[in-house]
Structure 1
Amino acid sequence: MTNKYASRKFIDLIQRATSKWANWDPPRKIAVGDYGTIINETGEFDWEGNIYSADFQEQLKLSKYKFNIDFADSALLPNEHEGGDDHFIVKSWSATTKEVNTSTDVAAPGVVNVTLKFDFQFDGNKPAAVLIMHKPRYSSLPHDECIIRLLKSMPGVLKGKYIVTEVISCAAYMMHLSDRKAEKFSVTLKADGPVTPTINAGGAASFAWSSESAYGLPVKDATRPQHILPLYRLKQPRPKFWEWPFGHRGDEKAYDAIDRWEDVDPTWNPLDDEGEEHELYDAEMHGDFGVSIMAILMTMTMTTEL
């Protein structure tokens, strides 16, 4: 597979397996409340703004709905919490986890060395994608009526846009895109740090990846605990969301409105093994498929008459 479509193919495989979007450049910041669209050629998020930004708040003051919101209220800020497991593995359907080994030893008083080994098997019938996140941390939009009212007050800015409702960051990540060759893929993460790490995996913690891969694109990894964000969720409000008034009997409850939005699906036609859009689907969209069927039917009719 060429590098030209590698990002889109990787993102496509992860999204179809999890309904979440992979950030091809995890050190690049994507935050809860971001809004924008998807770049069709690469699959990457095209950032346009953030609902928590000062610029958006200024636009909000000029809205015809005259809605004010106090972002100093902690209840309106993104909800954040750590994952229950030390690692989060995401893989496409053609990849399987063979085993996960963990070993821990005390290097010094108050300091531990942790070694995690992940073994994967790719079946070789089609490309496969794997994403490993160590010490995942979750952040999401709060289920608060004020957030819903804020979004509804800005249709001129947000209507037709995708909104980042959740992000998953981590202390260290590894991603790999295989080609169509059968392959066993091993990855090892060594982490040295305090027995009780800080929330962000701490400045005292250190990480190192090592991997063995004979095929596919080079492994991408990083160990910068200050901010690595490999995965995020994109949602789009349903058309009726923009209808006013809000809060009348029969409307959706504010606390579940965001949860009931639709996950954003890939904006491209189904991809082939090289990451290019399948030509058959383009032909159908432009009516060529229907023309071919009509030609076949006409031929059959003429043959019958003869």
Structure 2
Amino acid sequence: MARNSCWFFQKIFTRKKEYASRTFSDNIHVLTNKFTNWEPSVKIEVGDYGKINKDTGVFSKIGNIFDDGKTKGTEELKRKTHGQDTKLSLASSNVRAVAFEAGPNIQLAPLGEIAIQSQYQCSRDYGAILLMHKPSTTKLEGSLDTLKSADFEHLLGMYLVTEVDTCPAYAMYLSAKSSEVVKFMFALSAPIAAAMPGVTAGGSLGPAWYNEGTVGVYRSGSEPNQTYTTLFQTWSLGKKKDERRDTVRPGDDISGPDVWAMSVPPWEPLDEDGKEMD
């Protein structure tokens, strides 16, 4: 059983450790056209720009168009937060959701009000699972065409964040290629009397994640008053590698006019071990 802010490797992987974050992000990107923030407690905001590490998939901020002192004309753009869902569950194609059945670890958990309970059958390929409690989305609204002028040359080759997903609690899991069955439960609160026999009733523990069967890479967070950034979408100013696709990979040396388009990952397609294919 595991509780808040877990970050641990439960199995030694045959591939390089730094590939775990990239493999997870690549699996989720296929589903959403968004990158994963492997350190959700590190804030990423709409308007941020920077680089995405080719080996790890981690975003490194260089500046923000709204306060960097270089970017002009941002008054035509605005950031707007859209609604809040009860939960969001994402699972890659190598993972299948199945009916939830509480196992011994979860049965022993001091559970109160349950917000999320999910169970998945993993395959012998790497799969990614992302669970979010009460996620909301903030988007950049307005036309990026205003950013084509010479005043925005510092954005060439950068990943500009145009959308972020945040939540007060999340869980991430990268499977271990072992056909494991994994279970996750998120409790909003647990009565102290149930959690701690002999302690006077009347209070409660804070929100907590519980998991079972996880033998891959697992992390979660639900600290009070914390907002986690889990996903972000980026656009880039550059040359389109393929005129048939409305995407750009920053840094590609291709002739033609610069255009704003949704970014593609800086790495090549990955094989079953999370390594780039030639």
What TM-score do the two structures reach when normalised by structure 2?
0.71
Q: What are the within-5 Å matches in structure 2 for residues 38-49 of structure 1?
A: 38-49=52-63
Q: What are the within-5 Å matches in structure 2 for residues 235-246 of structure 1?
A: 235-237=235-237, 239=239
1:160 partner letter = G
Judged with a 3 Å threshold, the aligned counterparts in structure 2 of structure 1 residues 100 and 152 are, in CA distance, closer, same or farther, namely: farther
Q: What are the within-5 Å matches in structure 2 for residues 158-169 of structure 1?
A: 158-169=155-166
2:70 partner letter = Q
Decide whether the 8 Å contact of 1:37 with 1:46 is kept in 2. Answer: yes
> With CA pairs under 8 Å and 6+ residues apart, which has the higher RCO, 1 or 2?
2
1:93 shift after superposition = 0.8
1:10 partner letter = F
SS of alignment partner, residue 15 of structure 1: helix
Decide whether the 8 Å contact of 2:115 with 2:133 is kept in 1. Answer: no
Judged with a 3 Å threshold, the aligned counterparts in structure 2 of structure 1 residues 261 and 76 are, in CA distance, closer, same or farther, namely: closer
Taking the aligned partners of 1:59 and 1:223, their CA distance within structure 2 comes to 36
Deviation string for 1:59-88 (max 9, x for gaps)?
Answer: 24xxxxxx5555xxxx843111223x3111
Decide whether the 8 Å contact of 2:114 with 2:185 is kept in 1. Answer: no
Partner of 2:176: 179
1:59 partner letter = K
Does 2:93 align with 1:82?
no
2:40 partner letter = P
Partner of 1:51: 65
Taking the aligned partners of 1:46 and 1:267, their CA distance within structure 2 comes to 13
Judged with a 3 Å threshold, the aligned counterparts in structure 2 of structure 1 residues 134 and 156 are, in CA distance, closer, same or farther, namely: same
Q: CA RMSD in A?
A: 2.7
Does 2:263 align with 1:264?
yes
1:213 shift after superposition = 2.2
Deviation string for 1:107-156 (max 9, x for gaps)?
Answer: xxxxx9334211111122x111100011001101012x5x6425645332
Does 2:48 align with 1:34?
yes
Decide whether the 8 Å contact of 1:123 with 1:182 is kept in 2. Answer: yes
Out of 165-174 and 31-40, give the one that drifted further.
Answer: 31-40
Aligned residues: 222
Unaligned runs of 5+ in 2: 1-12, 102-111, 191-203, 241-258
2:215 partner letter = Y
Does 2:27 align with 1:13?
yes
Q: What are the within-5 Å matches in structure 2 for residues 212-291 of structure 1?
A: 212-217=212-217, 219-224=218-223, 225-237=225-237, 239=239, 261-278=260-277, 281=278
Unaligned runs of 5+ in 1: 61-66, 102-111, 194-203, 241-259, 282-306
Decide whether the 8 Å contact of 1:100 with 1:116 is kept in 2. Answer: no
Decide whether the 8 Å contact of 1:151 with 1:158 is kept in 2. Answer: no
2:180 partner letter = E
Q: What are the within-5 Å matches in structure 2 for residues 94-173 of structure 1?
A: 94-99=94-99, 113-124=113-124, 126-143=125-142, 148-150=145-147, 152=149, 154-173=151-170
Post-superposition, which runs of at least 4 consecutive aligned residues in structure 1 deviate over 4 A? Answer: 67-70
Deviation string for 1:37-74 (max 9, x for gaps)?
Answer: 21111111121110111xx2x324xxxxxx5555xxxx
1:156 partner letter = E
Taking the aligned partners of 1:87 and 1:261, their CA distance within structure 2 comes to 32
SS of alignment partner, residue 153 of structure 2: helix
Say which one has the larger Rg: 1
SS of alignment partner, residue 154 of structure 1: helix
1:171 shift after superposition = 0.9
SS of alignment partner, residue 22 of structure 2: helix
Judged with a 3 Å threshold, the aligned counterparts in structure 2 of structure 1 residues 115 and 30 are, in CA distance, closer, same or farther, namely: closer
Q: How many percent of aligned residue pairs carry the same amino acid?
A: 31
Deviation string for 1:247-275 (max 9, x for gaps)?
Answer: xxxxxxxxxxxxx9533222112223332
SS of alignment partner, residue 54 of structure 2: coil
More helix by share: 1
Judged with a 3 Å threshold, the aligned counterparts in structure 2 of structure 1 residues 236 and 133 are, in CA distance, closer, same or farther, namely: same
1:100 shift after superposition = 6.3
More strand by share: 2
Taking the aligned partners of 1:80 and 1:33, their CA distance within structure 2 comes to 13
